Structure 1
Amino acid sequence: MDLRKPYLAEHFAPVADEIDRRDLKVRGMLPPELNGRYIRNGHNPRPGDVPSHWFRGSGMLHGIRLRAGRAEWYRNRWVRTPAWNGAPYVRADGGVDLTASIAGTHIVEHAGRLLALQEGNLPFEVTRELDTVGPYDFDGGLTTAMTAHPRTDPGTGELHFFGSSPVPPYLTYHVASPRGRIIRSEVICGAGPSLMHDFGLTRRHVVWLDLPVVFNPAESSGVPYRWSESYAPRIGVMPRTGPAVPTWFEVSPGMVLHVANAYEDARGRIVLEAPRFDRAAWETSWRWWVGAPGYPESPVVGAISHRWILDPASGVAGEQELDSLVVEFPTIDARAVGRPHRFGYASAFPGAGLREYAIVKYDRVSGQRWIAGQGRDRMPGEAVFVPAEGGTAEDDGYLLTVVGDLARNASELLVLDARRITAPPIAVVELPRRVPAGIHGSWIPDPDGSVADG
């Protein structure tokens, strides 16, 4: 394996096998209400496979089962898709195989199903023990790809998501009922061939990101998108109830991979918050993602927390930088999706005066931030918020994150107090192996009355 590729080395070096371990050692005290599974997805090429891009490595799930104050097991599994077995996405006849997924970006639960996601394909269902069931098309209701970043409306339980394509129709909006039935699918008018990885959802609107990284078949990395100076960047806003015709707002050139949140403010304006790359930041980060000569030390360079304020009355978009730290993988309390949130969390990367990887917490109201550094050679992943039982404040809960330690060749699951992230962890679960740095994960609580499951 070519260890000169940064996504195959150090924190990102893949593991070569699947293991199961039970009765993990815990330092501290696990909160007794944490009954469920923390599952994290990420790219882990099979032995001998050297993908041309970080995003093209096969998906591997890592799961930790917590119950009644114990860490019962750890296990890791590749998502066994046709692509895992070498099947191409583009068939010999020129068509695409939506089941030929890497399935390596995210994992979510909806309507009792666990879905491993990769945005160019159908989702793949897996069991609660991480074994692959197969592609899932919502019982025939889904005929496009599915984004890796669906959003559940906390008020209705509906799952909102989209399918994007480099050829028309470029963008299709879907809504699934709480029971998992597709109840709406509409092609979005006016969308273009941009790399749309995420979107925003408010109480009343859907927010689309049509930004200047666009389909370009000349790109040789296997992810055929490049920054285009000629593509006019826009953010689209449309009512959730239709019609599927957005109002487009011109914005300054920039790229967004992950949205922290979107909401309506007291004046009826739509507010969107996310880390934003300018062209230099995007192209420098891309060099790491493809392992090009001169790649930086960190996979994320120059992504800065940003806010867009979209005013339907005037048709004007305002913008402002919120912080100077280099951040990605923003998260909030999922109960605040589409609502004005106060607290947000993100992974911080070296740069802008920060010398180590860290977790950062933001207070949107006061403007304060707190940085929880993990020390030299230690890299935390995305921080997933889990509400505390009986908690009332928005940050009354826990942050779960897997930290890799290069010096010790080991990894841990940290349980942090979300109110005081700079305090020592509430609990540390020692994992039986180094877990490669990955992408996104979810806390999957046990269904009511299921504490006896395995």
Structure 2
Amino acid sequence: MTSKPYLTGHYTPVADEVTGLDLTVEGTLPPELTGRFIRNSHNPKPGVTPTHWFKGSGMVHGIRLREGRAEWYRNRWVHTPALDGAPYMTERGPDLAASTAGTHVIEHAGRLLALCEANLPFELTADLETVGAFDFDGKLRTAMTAHPKEDPVTGELHFFGSSPFPPYLMYYVSDAKGEIVHSAEIPGATASLKHDFAITRRHVVFVEGNVTFDPTEHSGIPYAWSDQQPARIGVMPHGSDGTRHIRWFSIEPGNMLHVSNAYEDSQGRIVLEGPTVDREGFQLSWNWWVGAPGRGSEPNARSYIRRWMIDLAAGTVDEQIIDDLAVEFPTLNEDYLGAENRYGYAVSFPDQEGFGGYGVVKYDRTTGARRIHQVGDARMPSEAVFVPAAGATNEDDGYLLTVISDLKQDSSQLLVLDAVGLNRVATVHLPRRVTAGIHGSWIPDSELDNNEN
């Protein structure tokens, strides 16, 4: 029996790969939900105890919906060299193919890619079998972030590769056909942990917080909080080389893992939002991630949404925490990615005192109101992914898809909520409890080349 928190409770790994057909549905699945909901998770093989949550091998869980039916569930490990024990560090340096591939899964240009920020992407089939490492026909020679951003206007995929060693930050753009058309080293970057970033309609926004490379950290993830590491935001135009265009702005100490959104407002300022932690909040999460004695708190216990207003003309940044609810895994209607959005969504967590609980949160950025769908005792939702409704006219016309881990019933369900009022629309009962995990995507059939199954 392990005491590692990331291998117990909601996070207990599953031991095998299964396929379930003709799943039971309560309620009515909207017919426009025809595609795949795929979610990633850290799920080490039986007998393997990683030293850090992030080091657990990736396992993808997929639910196939078609015209009101739930046709299948299947889970598959991403079969990378690391799954069979290949080390990341070798005598020749990092092996970019030795990936956990356990952070995110996206589609771009008809390819399904499992992502981990320290490595190359891994391509999967539409049935979640592993194809292999994907390097954009040799044009990607660094790691790739697990949080690329697809421009909803152009279809371009913006992403970066970061490293604790020079070059610290590389920026890439892939066109809508899946070919890298731009790459550039970003000068002035540091070894600060860069897990996520943002794009607006005209700019790319990088965030460097106080968590940075630390070779004395022996959990296998060599990063730690440093008061000496300056916190700052870097801004440059889309597709620039950075040498002449990157501008860095100092911000208050903190660390942000995930961006909610960014956009240019009517005054030309860049507005950036996302959950952040202070020094204590980061340490609480880190203690949980490594299973340190006396951890005493769940991750994200002090994670609060912060807003930065970056005035490029004046060269200033105003910032404030805009909510006191502990949340993470922010999402939105991605048609509004890079543009001003009224609505945002997140998952709520118990705070550092154990108050509050798990739920799906909706924010109205215009009125400041928030609504919470409480998922119930001993039930934990995954990141809530927005899917537009057929014929949508308003930003929140659509559905939120989240996988629930239910400890009391030792089961899981795909919960479909109405994104307007957070009311339950349908529940799909899955054949097993799904390991609580990280990020996922809704992928309509039209976006995958191989969608006949």
TM, length-normalised to structure 2:
0.98
The aligned residue for residue 57 of structure 1 is 56
The aligned residue for residue 156 of structure 2 is 158
Distance in 1 separating the partners of 2:81 and 2:374: 39
Distance in 2 separating the partners of 1:20 and 1:37: 14
Q: Secondary structure at the match of 1:325?
A: coil
Q: Is the 8 A contact 1:40 1:107 kept in 2?
A: yes
Distance in 2 separating the partners of 1:290 and 1:401: 26
- 1:29-428 matches, cutoff 5 A: 29-91=28-90, 93-244=91-242, 245-351=245-351, 354-421=355-422, 423=423, 425-428=424-427
Q: Secondary structure at the match of 1:83?
A: helix
Higher deviation after alignment, 277-286 or 290-299: 290-299
Name the aligned partner's letter for residue 363 of structure 1.
Answer: D
Q: Residues 235 and 218 from structure 1, CA distance in 2 versus in 1: closer, same or farther, beyond 3 angstroms?
A: same
Distance in 1 separating the partners of 2:427 and 2:50: 33
Name the aligned partner's letter for residue 262 of structure 2.
Answer: A
Distance in 2 separating the partners of 1:243 and 1:174: 10
Could you list the per-position Cα deviations for residues 284-340 of structure 1 after superposition, in whole angstroms to 9, with x for gaps in the alignment?
A: 111001000111342221000110011111111100111000000000011101000
Distance in 1 separating the partners of 2:257 and 2:182: 25
Q: How many angstroms does 1:239 deviate by?
A: 1.1
Q: Is the 8 A contact 1:384 1:400 kept in 2?
A: yes
Distance in 2 separating the partners of 1:449 and 1:64: 15
Q: How many angstroms does 1:10 deviate by?
A: 0.5
Q: Is the 8 A contact 1:325 1:354 kept in 2?
A: no
The aligned residue for residue 16 of structure 2 is 17
Distance in 2 separating the partners of 1:121 and 1:359: 31
Q: Is the 8 A contact 1:285 1:296 kept in 2?
A: no
Could you list the per-position Cα deviations for residues 38-87 of structure 1 after superposition, in whole angstroms to 9, with x for gaps in the alignment?
A: 00001001000000001000000000000010000000000000000110
Higher deviation after alignment, 308-317 or 158-167: 308-317
Distance in 2 separating the partners of 1:451 and 1:259: 31
Distance in 2 separating the partners of 1:192 and 1:215: 9
Distance in 2 separating the partners of 1:10 and 1:187: 42
Name the aligned partner's letter for residue 404 of structure 1.
Answer: S
Distance in 1 separating the partners of 2:100 and 2:449: 31
Distance in 1 separating the partners of 2:451 and 2:289: 42
Q: Structure 1: which 5+ runs fail to align? A: none
Distance in 2 separating the partners of 1:229 and 1:178: 41
Q: Is the 8 A contact 1:6 1:288 kept in 2?
A: yes
Q: Is the 8 A contact 2:192 2:229 kept in 1?
A: no
Aligned-CA RMSD value: 1.3
Q: Secondary structure at the match of 1:285?
A: helix
Could you list the per-position Cα deviations for residues 254-305 of structure 1 after superposition, in whole angstroms to 9, with x for gaps in the alignment?
A: 0000001010011101110000100000011110010001113422210001
Distance in 1 separating the partners of 2:260 and 2:447: 29
Report the identity percentage.
59
Q: Secondary structure at the match of 1:324?
A: coil
Q: How many angstroms does 1:240 deviate by?
A: 1.1
Q: How many angstroms does 1:3 deviate by?
A: 2.3
Q: Is the 8 A contact 1:282 1:301 kept in 2?
A: no
Q: Secondary structure at the match of 2:54?
A: helix
Q: Is the 8 A contact 2:112 2:124 kept in 1?
A: yes
Q: How many angstroms does 1:361 deviate by?
A: 0.4
Q: How many angstroms does 1:19 deviate by?
A: 0.3
Q: Residues 248 and 449 from structure 1, CA distance in 2 versus in 1: closer, same or farther, beyond 3 angstroms?
A: closer
Q: Residues 297 and 376 from structure 1, CA distance in 2 versus in 1: closer, same or farther, beyond 3 angstroms?
A: farther
Q: Residues 273 and 64 from structure 1, CA distance in 2 versus in 1: closer, same or farther, beyond 3 angstroms?
A: same
Distance in 2 separating the partners of 1:232 and 1:410: 44
TM, length-normalised to structure 1:
0.97
Q: Is the 8 A contact 2:24 2:70 kept in 1?
A: yes
Q: Secondary structure at the match of 1:190?
A: coil
Q: Residues 66 and 163 from structure 1, CA distance in 2 versus in 1: closer, same or farther, beyond 3 angstroms?
A: same
Q: Secondary structure at the match of 2:326?
A: strand
Name the aligned partner's letter for residue 256 of structure 1.
Answer: M
Q: Structure 2: which 5+ runs fail to align? A: none
Q: Is the 8 A contact 2:110 2:447 kept in 1?
A: no
Distance in 2 separating the partners of 1:194 and 1:283: 16
